[in-house]
């Protein structure tokens, strides 16, 4: 995927401002180039900087470029908390107006105020499809997310970057407004319970990794109140910003969304250095967790349904025609596991744990992992989107 935020930063002198006609033209040109170079589509992060400054027109115009080249529009939506339904509707509207296929990334409802919204979100996806909008989604199987603290600040406070934010925080009137906004945003997510916010990684102080905000404040001899928490949020954000884990998703909503036939399995994770930091366990356990907990223990999906959501559905979304299904003529990308043993072992406080039960991994017909050990064979290859020139 080509990142919308990256495009904005390259095309605009100040990506925190509305684009001029010239800026938008440049963004469209960059998107077109990326699609011709083999991107599968355009991805947005509308809750983050600079994506949060984009309006509907900008998103539709860029989505059209992706769709014209056989790609799709993927979005980390604008709000996963109290505004989640409006944000889902915005993603669907982009698809309807652009005529481009939509993927809602790691769909969820975050915070106690929106627990129970899973069924409404699921129904919105199904209704949009019945009206002709090609919208699908993916999710990870944990009741916690991993992100940063940028969403805790109002958009206007982040315009111009960190130095401008520091200036605004030095102004008593502006600082009061920023802190009030941050307090509301953190409160929406975890209420007054700062033990629900865990530090995954923080370069400025690695000793805090794995600890909760409540732990850190107590170590400093302070009460873990929301006001003290906001002081800590600002301190960490200004010193490079941590990666954090919010424990604020309802398990029943996860199950409801998982049952939707148009919701795939994903990790929303990345490659981590083994043993470094305290990352979200999704980086190690997402797919085995679905097969173990949600299939075998909870009966949310059949084994066949779960595997389809991990393989052929994503391949179809990416327009990859020769992978995702085991059949003659396809590339042999195969995972062989023992369905009685498959299980995730990574936890939030001990995340660097590989899953159990995976016997073999075959990439492009070559055995690359056996009984948990890499064979040393590296037979992966770069895959390109359908719009690539000369593919």
Domain 2-141+249-268: which CATH class?
A: alpha beta
Question: 30 or 272, which is more confident?
Answer: 30
The answer on pLDDT for 151 being more than 90 is no
Instruction: Return the DSSP state at 20.
Output: P
Q: What pLDDT, in 10s, does the model give residues 332-343?
A: 999 999 999 999
Which residues of the chain does CATH 3.20.20.140 include? 2-141+249-268
pLDDT at 271: 86
The answer on pLDDT for 391 being more than 80 is no
Q: Is 63 left (phi over 0), alpha (psi -120 to 50) or beta?
A: alpha
d(CA 310, CA 70): 21
Does the CA dihedral 47-270-15-202 come out positive or negative? positive
Q: What pLDDT, in 10s, does the model give residues 59-112?
A: 999 999 999 999 999 999 999 999 999 999 999 999 999 999 999 999 999 998
Q: What pLDDT, in 10s, does the model give residues 184-223?
A: 999 988 989 999 999 998 999 999 999 999 999 999 999 9
Q: What pLDDT, in 10s, does the model give residues 236-283?
A: 999 988 999 999 999 999 999 999 999 999 999 988 899 998 899 999
335, β-bridge pairs: 361
Q: With residue 87 as reference, give the H or E element that holds it.
A: helix 84-98
The answer on pLDDT for 228 being more than 90 is yes
CB 344 within 8 A of CB 288: yes
The answer on pLDDT for 370 being more than 80 is yes
pLDDT at 294: 98
pLDDT at 349: 86
pLDDT at 177: 97
**Residue with token string 């998982």:** 258
**Could you check whether the bond before residue 50 is cis, i.e. omega within 30 degrees of 0?**
yes
- Measured N-to-C along each axis, helices 118-130 and 84-98 cross at an angle, to the nearest 10 degrees, of 10
Nearest-CA neighbor of 200 among 151, 271, 147? Answer: 147
% of the chain exceeding 70 in pLDDT: 100
Q: What pLDDT, in 10s, does the model give residues 43-60?
A: 999 999 999 999 999 999
Q: With residue 65 as reference, give the H or E element that holds it.
A: helix 56-68
pTM (2 decimals)?
Answer: 0.90
Mean residue pLDDT of the chain comes to 95
Q: Are strands 72-76 and 41-45 parallel, antiparallel or unpaired?
A: parallel
% of the chain exceeding 90 in pLDDT: 93
118, β-bridge pairs: none
Does the CA dihedral 386-125-56-140 come out positive or negative? negative
d(CA 229, CA 233): 6
**Residue with token string 């600040």:** 153
Residues sharing a CB contact under 8 Å with residue 176, sequence separation 6 or more, in sequence order: none
Q: State the DSSP string of 230-248.
A: HHHHHHHHHTT--EEEE--
């Amino acid at each position: 995927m080509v990142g919308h935020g990256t495009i904005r930063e390259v095309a605009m002198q100040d990506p925190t401002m509305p684009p001029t006609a010239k800026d938008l033209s440049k963004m469209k040109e960059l998107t077109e180039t990326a699609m011709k170079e083999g991107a599968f589509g355009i991805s947005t992060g509308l809750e983050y900087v600079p994506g949060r400054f984009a309006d509907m027109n900008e998103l539709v115009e860029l989505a059209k470029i992706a769709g014209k080249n056989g790609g799709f529009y993927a979005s980390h939506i604008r709000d996963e908390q109290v505004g989640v339904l409006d944000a889902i509707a915005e993603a669907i509207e982009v698809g309807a107006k652009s005529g481009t296929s939509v993927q809602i990334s790691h769909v969820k409802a975050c915070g106690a105020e929106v627990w129970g919204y899973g069924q409404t979100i699921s129904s919105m996806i199904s209704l949009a499809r019945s009206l002709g909008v090609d919208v699908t989604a993916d999710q990870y199987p944990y009741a916690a997310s991993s992100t940063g603290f940028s969403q805790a600040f109002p958009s206007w406070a982040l315009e111009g970057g960190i130095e401008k934010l520091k200036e605004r925080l030095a102004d008593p009137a502006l600082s009061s407004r920023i802190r009030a906004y941050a307090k509301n945003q953190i409160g929406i997510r975890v209420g007054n319970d700062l033990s629900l916010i865990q530090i995954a990684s923080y370069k400025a102080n690695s000793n805090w990794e794995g600890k909760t905000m409540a732990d850190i404040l107590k170590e400093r001899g302070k009460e873990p109140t929301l006001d003290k928490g906001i002081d800590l949020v600002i301190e960490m954000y200004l010193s490079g910003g941590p990666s954090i884990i919010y424990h604020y998703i309802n398990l029943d909503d996860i199950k409801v969304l998982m049952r939707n036939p148009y919701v795939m399995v994903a990790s929303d994770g990345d490659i981590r250095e083994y043993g470094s930091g305290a990352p979200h366990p999704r980086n190690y356990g997402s797919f085995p967790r679905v097969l173990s907990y949600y299939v075998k223990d909870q009966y949310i999906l059949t084994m066949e349904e779960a595997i389809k959501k991990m393989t052929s559905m994503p391949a179809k979304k990416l327009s990859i025609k020769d992978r995702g299904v085991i059949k003659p003529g396809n590339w042999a990308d195969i995972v062989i596991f023992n369905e009685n043993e498959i299980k995730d072992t990574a936890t939030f406080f001990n995340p660097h744990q590989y899953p159990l039960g995976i016997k073999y991994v075959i990439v492009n017909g070559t055995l690359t992992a056996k009984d948990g050990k890499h064979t040393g064979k590296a037979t992966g290859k770069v895959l390109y989107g359908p719009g690539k020139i000369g593919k």
